[in-house]
Amino acid sequence: MRIRSFIIAYALVLAILLFADRRPGTMQQDRYSHVVDLTDGQNATSKRATSLEGPEFRTRIIAPAAIIPGTWTAGQIPPERLVAPLVVIDLKTAASQTINDSTAQISLDDIAAWEAQHGIIPSGAVVAIRHAGAPDNRAPDDRSAAPLTPLPIARDAALFLIEARDTIGFAVETPVNLSSDRTLATQMALHGNYVVEGMRLTSLPATGSLIIVAPAKNKKLGEAPVRILAMVR
């Protein structure tokens, strides 16, 4: 009996040691290498900025309440929806197009091609749309005065992400006008999706980052300045 107990105890200790020996590798694999501030602190002079109270900055969150009153305001979005996996899809623009070209949109085919290369977009992610191939070489004043443009993703592609991939938000580099497609905007609000505009996405990889969205806890504003951080592997 003592020999059997000793063997069992030895096996348990050996298993614990082996597990402990493997843990550092697992932790190392899940560790983020650095934090990037994606906030653009330039003062905003867009048409939207002049209609709201308080200091205006280019990086803002558009909460569901900005589209459908009675849904979440910026300060009411649940904390668990403000920390999420971040995926970056490049919006490829032609040489004749500008970074604010309202005709450029992410399509279903673009999403299929992205997932073929990087894997399925994780559930509960924020999808960032980056203007690839169109470097932003404008002066800060030009960036802050950027006009409002439609969300740079086709309606069917956005609804696919919301319904089939359970995304919780979208992030874009320029100010957006969600009223240009009220059907899409309504579905986004009903699903609790928010939009972050005015982000700096140039240094982010396509996958592997974690986004942290930090709006002020103001229960009255559907749109508000926001600080955005990304933890990058």
CA distance 135 to 99: 8
* 32-232 fold: Glucose Oxidase; domain 1 (3.50.30)
- Contact between 173 and 136 under an 8 Å Cβ cutoff? The reply is yes
- Contact between 173 and 198 under an 8 Å Cβ cutoff? The reply is yes
Beta bridge partners of 226: 215
Look at residue 32 in the predicted model and tell me its pLDDT: 82
Going by C-alpha positions, the residue among 155, 145, 202, 201 that lies closest to residue 175 is 145
What's the pTM? 0.76
Among 17-31, 55-69, 73-87, 117-131, which is the least confidently predicted range? 17-31
Sorted by where each begins, the domain ranges of the chain are 1-31, 32-232
State mean pLDDT over 109-123.
97
Which tens digits make up the pLDDT trace of 44-101? 444 454 343 444 558 999 999 999 999 999 999 999 999 999 999 999 854 444 544 5
CA distance 72 to 190: 10
CA distance 44 to 198: 9
- Contact between 127 and 171 under an 8 Å Cβ cutoff? The reply is yes
Look at residue 5 in the predicted model and tell me its pLDDT: 44
| Residue 212: its H or E element | strand 209-215
Which tens digits make up the pLDDT trace of 147-194? 788 999 999 999 999 999 999 999 999 999 999 999 999 999 999 999
Look at residue 102 in the predicted model and tell me its pLDDT: 58
Q: Which range scores top for mean pLDDT: 11-25, 138-152, 211-225?
A: 211-225
Look at residue 101 in the predicted model and tell me its pLDDT: 56
